[in-house]
Amino acid sequence: MKKIQSAIFGVDKIVFLTGAGVSVPSGIPDYRSKGGLYTGFENPEYLLSEACLNNEPDVFYHFVKEKMYYPKAKPNAIHLKMAELERDKDVTIITQNIDGLHEKAGSKRVIDFHGNLYDCYCQKCGLHVPATTYLKSQFHDKCGGVIRPDIVLYGEGISNEVISNSILAMKKADLIVIVGTSFKVSPFCNLIEYRNHQAAIFAVNKEVIRIAAPIHMIETDALQLFEKL
């Protein structure tokens, strides 16, 4: 605790790399653990794939609508502390999460690496629509096109803009803190290769993270740690 407190409050430029474990305390399940979003599905990756969206849009819509959205979820102490730090420091959050809770907490510099469920658009005419509209119908009432959330599906790539902005943030950071992720999903985990090599790296996760770089590993519940920061 003393080491990470000293590290956070002793630098100006911080990058937080966050994953599903950050949002679990807000009531949003992760993907693969027992009771997670994928529980009970034989091929869950297909249900969140570009192929499913294109070939079976009704199947895709039903899964996303029923399993992915948690509009009543609120930011927890992790989100709030990161937003608070942004008031005095140059903080960038690069998140795998698609729930928008970092933005709800007040963070301004957030890179949604895999997109955001609450940013929806019509694939036919390109107009953006509120998520509340999408949750009522997958069809755009203006043109009849199929609406989709602007998230990265299996079979799709990360945009060049997101990649370049993430790499730039990593190169500038004085401190990198990995929070609530096993850090195994590529290309997200590959961002560490572009770090400022003078930056200290901390990881706060219940399971050990192994990367090809010196790291201060804190095996603990992220919520409890951030409540004490």
Residues acting as catalytic residues: 114
Q: How far is CA 12 from CA 42, 68, 140, in A?
A: 46, 35, 45
**What are the residues facing 200 on neighbouring strands?**
175
